């Protein structure tokens, strides 16, 4: 991810801001590769940035991508940002002057900062599970940076049934690589203790990715409820993020998370 971008984040000594700036700069690099006559197809609702990330939180949830109606997003852009256009004009990448890009990025970050409070249908069930397991605060990352109103539309351009980057398309793979590096950095930091995968599609993709060391040995028909990566358990919740997980499955998930053996202390983790 060495490609230059039209906007460089300001210098900071705050570790949370450094992590956000690193992630957002790389999200911007992927975004800049989309468009007519570019490497990846033009995207009208991309990307998502980090805002309010706290490296001290032990819990992390992973979703697929921010999905919502465009009318609702337009309303949020109007109410919560200083951007003068609609969501399409905000999220469509263009090669422009750094000052203009700074305004665009800051407006997107304003939306991200309020997401947990605004998207209660998505984040509410996740918050409930973490609280039931003794958690208080958690961070969230999406597997993909592309915003879509329909998950199938996103899946069609981000995944592949075979090929060099299976289970991802090349476009999906660069976004997966960013997620993986972000989690590797969180693990190295030493505070991450558990990960809740809040989407069934994401769970299946991660089970077939480099996150799952046993992916090549998984028996056909076996549906694991968790896997372990670098001593960190990844709990698979089905469709928790959409609120469609039934009571039995939710109780099973909570009990498994509560009874899971403590993670290895940071001082003993393999580096």
Integer Cα distance of 14 and 142 in angstroms:
23
Segment 122-141 shows an average pLDDT of 91
Q: Is residue 10 part of a domain?
A: no
Q: What is the pLDDT of residue 220?
A: 45
Per mean pLDDT, which range of 57-61, 91-95, 145-149 is the poorest? 91-95
* Mean pLDDT, residues 195-203: 91
In a domain? residue 146: yes
- Assign residue 242 the CATH number of its domain: 3.40.470
* Residue 3 forms part of a structural domain: no
Q: Is residue 200 part of a domain?
A: yes
The residue ranking higher by pLDDT, 97 or 270, is 97
Measured between alpha carbons, how far is 115 from 63 in angstroms, rounded to an integer?
Answer: 13
Other beta carbons less than 10 A from residue 152's beta carbon: 8
The predicted model scores a pTM of 0.84
Q: Is residue 6 part of a domain?
A: no
Mean pLDDT along residues 191-214: 88
DSSP symbol at 175: H
| CA gap 140, 25 in Å, rounded | 18
Would strands 194-197 and 59-63 be described as parallel, antiparallel, or unpaired? parallel
Kindly state whether residue 133 falls inside one of the protein's structural domains. Answer: yes
Tell me if 4 is assigned to some domain.
no
pLDDT band, residue 153 (cuts 50/70/90)? confident
**Whether residue 138 has pLDDT greater than 90:** yes
Inter-residue contact 140 to 61 (CB < 8 Å): yes
Residue 166 lies in a domain: yes
Expressed as residue numbers, the domain containing 70 is 15-268
Q: Which two tokens stand for residue 270?
A: 């393999």
Average pLDDT on 218-223 reads 55
Task: Provide the number of structural domains found in the chain.
Answer: 1
Lowest mean pLDDT among 7-11, 30-34, 108-112, 196-200: 7-11
For 21-122, list the strands marked E by DSSP.
Answer: 59-63
């Amino acid at each position: 991810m060495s490609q230059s971008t039209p906007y460089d984040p300001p210098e900071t000594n705050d570790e949370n801001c450094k992590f956000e700036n690193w992630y957002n700069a790389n999200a911007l690099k992927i975004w800049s590769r989309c468009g007519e006559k570019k490497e990846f197809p033009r995207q009208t609702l991309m990307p998502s940035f980090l805002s309010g990330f706290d490296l001290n939180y032990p819990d992390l949830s992973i979703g697929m991508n921010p999905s919502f109606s465009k009318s609702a997003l337009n309303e949020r852009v109007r109410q919560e940002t200083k951007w003068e256009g609609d969501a399409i004009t905000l999220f469509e990448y263009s090669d422009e002057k750094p000052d203009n890009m700074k305004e665009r990025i800051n407006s997107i970050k304003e939306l991200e900062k309020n997401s947990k409070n605004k998207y209660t249908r998505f984040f509410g069930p996740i918050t409930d599970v973490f609280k039931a397991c003794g958690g208080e605060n958690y961070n969230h990352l999406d597997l993909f940076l592309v915003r879509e109103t329909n998950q199938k539309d996103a899946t069609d351009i981000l995944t592949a049934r075979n090929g060099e980057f299976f289970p991802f398309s090349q476009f999906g793979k660069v976004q997966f690589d960013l997620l993986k590096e972000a989690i590797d950095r969180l693990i190295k930091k030493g505070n991450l203790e558990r990960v809740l995968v809040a989407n069934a599609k994401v769970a299946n993709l991660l089970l077939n990715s480099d996150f799952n060391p046993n992916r090549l040995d998984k028996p056909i028909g076996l549906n694991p409820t968790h896997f372990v990566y670098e001593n960190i358990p990844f709990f698979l919740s089905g469709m928790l993020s959409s609120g469609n997980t039934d009571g039995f499955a939710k109780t099973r998930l909570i009990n498994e998370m509560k009874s899971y053996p403590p993670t290895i202390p940071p001082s003993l983790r393999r580096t």
